[in-house]
């Protein structure tokens, strides 16, 4: 319901476009230009609250205009015997007034119209006209009932609208809250990632610095005879390894920035998945030999499609290096096949496996399964980059794993990206 004294001066459908306060503000600003406020302040009325002043102006201005219109009509119909058009017009004015400004304003309009009609029709008469009183009583009671009913529906509409609005606000609040939680989570993950990255960048640098420092000291203090070439080679090899690791981290960071800003593009060309896998296997051969890990590739024929060679090799490298890292030295199997439309690559290890809950998040950015800290080196970004490469090729990646039994990563790549 509309509260006592509450004025709604605009049709309901305009609610979202025009607020009541704005309308009053405008009227007030307008009146400031034309009303002698200085004079009013001299009379002690200068501190009239602006909104109240504009409300007053609107309610009386509007009703007076309505009543003025009826007055003009009454003048025209003065000579007419049947006054019903006058009452109908008056009632229309009251209805408009009730719809636009509410019950109080509609009552004010009917009262004004009542007095105007009364004064006008009785102006020159001396005796009492009973039929006029009856007509006016009918008019005023009709106007009150109509205004009340309109105000009631307006009130109900208002409640419904407020409820709708409340629901909308509640929905957006829930949405905002969810977004806030996600953003907080993302910021937390990013901060953890940054501290991890700083640590990972610092470690190889410290190792290199210590090695070089030691070597320089040996050269400076001890005689060169005590400093052997194999020793120097060992230091240099170590430095080379650390630099390779640093380059990998920096490349991963660059890839993340390319992916998250949507700037990673593919250079699609005819490629053979089997040949690319063998190339990756070759790059791991030394490590596999050193770690005594058996790697078997099952692939009968070339599996060719239009893929980005560099990115596909990067994808295989990421999954194979994980299989080695988390594979506990046990054999690794790779299977490559093709059907009518897709190439399929399965990399299977028999290592630590992944907890079912963690399987859902390992493809997310900055996510590592807990308890993996013992497997040195890892930013938790390899699988994110891999899944993005697969996605960009229009393919699919998934994992099946049983803790302590091993993991199987399956990648399907369409021969032609649509
Ligand atoms: P990381 O650099 O930590 O290996 P990845 O994005 O490559 O990052 O992998 C995310 C996480 O998924 C790893 O931290 C690890 O917990 C888990 N994971 C990935 N591959 C395997 C695997 N073959 N076996 C067990 N866990 C794996």
> What pLDDT shows up at residue 382?
92
The reply to whether ligand 1 has any atom less than 6 angstroms from the CB of 305 is: no
For 237-251, b/e burial (b = at least 16 CB within 10 A) is ebbeebeebbebbee
For 262-278, b/e burial (b = at least 16 CB within 10 A) is eebebeeeebbbbebbe
CA distance 316 to 284: 11
Going from the Cα of 58 to the center of ligand 1, the distance in angstroms, rounded, reads 71
Going from the Cα of 353 to the center of ligand 1, the distance in angstroms, rounded, reads 9
Contact in structure between 310 and 322 (CB atoms under 8 Å) = no
Q: How many CB atoms lie within 10 A of CB 169?
A: 10
> What pLDDT shows up at residue 16?
44
Going from the Cα of 79 to the center of ligand 1, the distance in angstroms, rounded, reads 98
CA distance 90 to 144: 12
pLDDT tens digits for the chain (418 residues)? 333 333 344 444 444 445 556 666 776 676 666 666 666 666 666 555 565 666 666 667 777 777 777 777 766 666 555 667 777 878 888 888 888 777 888 888 888 888 877 777 766 666 667 777 787 888 888 888 888 888 888 878 878 888 889 999 999 999 999 999 999 988 988 888 888 888 888 988 998 999 888 888 877 776 666 667 888 888 889 899 899 889 988 999 999 999 989 999 999 999 999 999 999 999 999 999 999 999 999 998 899 999 999 999 999 999 999 999 999 999 999 999 998 899 999 999 999 999 999 998 899 877 665 655 555 556 778 999 999 999 999 999 999 999 999 999 999 999 987 6
CA distance 293 to 233: 26
Among 362, 379, 407, say which to mutate for ligand 1: greatest number of ligand atoms within 8 Å of CB. 362
Strands 332-338 and 406-414: unpaired
Greatest extent of the chain over all pairs of C-alpha atoms, in Å: 142
Residues linked to residue 272 through DSSP beta bridges, in sequence order: 304
CA distance 241 to 203: 12
> What pLDDT shows up at residue 347?
98
Q: To the nearest 10°, report the CA torsion of 250, 256, 261, 263.
A: 70
Among 329, 333, 383, say which to mutate for ligand 1: greatest number of ligand atoms within 8 Å of CB. 383
Going from the Cα of 379 to the center of ligand 1, the distance in angstroms, rounded, reads 9
Going from the Cα of 218 to the center of ligand 1, the distance in angstroms, rounded, reads 40
> What pLDDT shows up at residue 135?
79
The residue behind tokens 């999954």 is 319
> What pLDDT shows up at residue 69?
75
Q: Specify the residue with its C-alpha closest to ligand 1, atom 16.
A: 369
Q: Where are the strands (E) in 300-366, listed by range?
A: 304-307, 332-338, 342-348
> What pLDDT shows up at residue 50?
60
Contact in structure between 415 and 391 (CB atoms under 8 Å) = no
Q: Which residues contact 142 (CB under 8 A, 6 or more apart)?
A: 91
pLDDT in tens, 263-315: 999 999 999 999 999 999 999 999 999 999 999 999 988 999 999 999 999 99
Going from the Cα of 35 to the center of ligand 1, the distance in angstroms, rounded, reads 77
- Collapsing DSSP to helix, strand or coil, 169 comes out as helix
CB-based burial of residue 124 (10 Å sphere; 0-12 exposed, 13-18 middle, 19+ buried)? exposed
CA distance 238 to 207: 9
Strands 269-272 and 332-338: unpaired
CA distance 213 to 219: 10
Going from the Cα of 381 to the center of ligand 1, the distance in angstroms, rounded, reads 9
Q: How many angstroms separate the Cα of 408 from the Cα of each of 311, 367, 405?
A: 20, 19, 10
Going from the Cα of 12 to the center of ligand 1, the distance in angstroms, rounded, reads 59
The reply to whether ligand 1 has any atom less than 6 angstroms from the CB of 379 is: yes
Among 326, 327, 350, say which to mutate for ligand 1: greatest number of ligand atoms within 8 Å of CB. 326
The reply to whether ligand 1 has any atom less than 6 angstroms from the CB of 359 is: no
The reply to whether ligand 1 has any atom less than 6 angstroms from the CB of 323 is: yes
The reply to whether ligand 1 has any atom less than 6 angstroms from the CB of 365 is: no
* Helix locations, 222-343, DSSP H: 229-260, 273-290, 309-325
Q: Specify the residue with its C-alpha closest to ligand 1, atom 14.
A: 368
Please indicate, yes or no, whether the overall pTM of this predicted structure exceeds 0.85: no
The reply to whether ligand 1 has any atom less than 6 angstroms from the CB of 320 is: no
Going from the Cα of 281 to the center of ligand 1, the distance in angstroms, rounded, reads 19
Q: How many angstroms separate the Cα of 226 from the Cα of each of 211, 232, 252?
A: 17, 11, 41
Pick the atom of ligand 1 nearest to 318's CA. Answer: 7
Residues linked to residue 399 through DSSP beta bridges, in sequence order: 409
């Amino acid at each position: 319901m509309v509260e006592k004294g509450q004025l709604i001066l605009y049709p309901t459908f305009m609610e979202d476009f025009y607020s009541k306060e704005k309308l009053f503000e405008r009227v007030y600003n307008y009146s400031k230009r034309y009303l002698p406020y200085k004079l009013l302040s001299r009379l002690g009325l200068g501190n009239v609250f602006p909104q109240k002043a504009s409300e007053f102006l609107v309610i009386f201005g509007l009703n007076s205009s309505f009543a003025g219109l009826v007055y003009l009509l009454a003048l025209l119909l003065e000579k007419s015997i049947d006054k019903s058009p006058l009452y109908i017009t008056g009632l229309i004015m009251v209805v408009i007034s009730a719809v636009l400004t509410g019950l109080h304003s509609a009552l004010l309009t009917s009262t004004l119209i009542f007095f105007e009609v009364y004064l006008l029709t009785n102006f020159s008469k001396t005796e009492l006209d009973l039929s006029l009183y009856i007509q006016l009583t009918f008019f005023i009671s009709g106007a009150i009932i109509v205004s009340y009913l309109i105000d009631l529906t307006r009130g109900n509409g208002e409640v419904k609208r407020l409820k709708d609005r409340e629901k909308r606000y509640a929905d957006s609040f829930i949405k905002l809250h969810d977004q806030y939680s996600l953003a907080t989570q993302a910021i937390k993950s990013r901060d953890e990632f940054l501290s991890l990255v700083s640590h990972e960048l610092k470690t190889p640098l410290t190792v290199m610095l210590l090695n070089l420092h030691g070597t320089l000291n040996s050269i400076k203090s001890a005689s060169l005879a005590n400093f052997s070439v194999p020793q120097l080679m060992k230091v240099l090899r170590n430095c080379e390894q650390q630099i390779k690791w640093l380059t990998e981290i920096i490349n991963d960071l660059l890839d993340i920035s390319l992916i998250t800003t949507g700037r990673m593009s593919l250079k699609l060309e005819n490629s053979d998945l089997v040949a690319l896998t063998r190339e990756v296997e070759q790059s791991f051969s030394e490590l596999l030999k050193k770690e005594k890990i058996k790697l078997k590739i099952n692939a009968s024929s070339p599996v060719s499609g239009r893929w980005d060679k560099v990115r596909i090799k990067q994808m295989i490298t990421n999954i194979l290096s994980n299989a080695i890292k988390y594979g506990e030295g046990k054999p690794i199997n790779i299977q490559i096949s093709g059907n009518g439309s897709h190439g399929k690559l399965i990399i299977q290890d028999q290592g630590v496996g992944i907890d079912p809950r963690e399987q859902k998040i390992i493809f997310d950015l900055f996510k590592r399964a807990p308890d993996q800290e013992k497997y040195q080196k890892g930013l938790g970004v390899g699988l994110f980059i891999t899944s993005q490469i697969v996605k960009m090729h229009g393919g699919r990646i998934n994992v099946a794993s049983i803790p302590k039994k091993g993991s199987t990563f399956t990648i399907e790549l369409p021969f032609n990206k649509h």
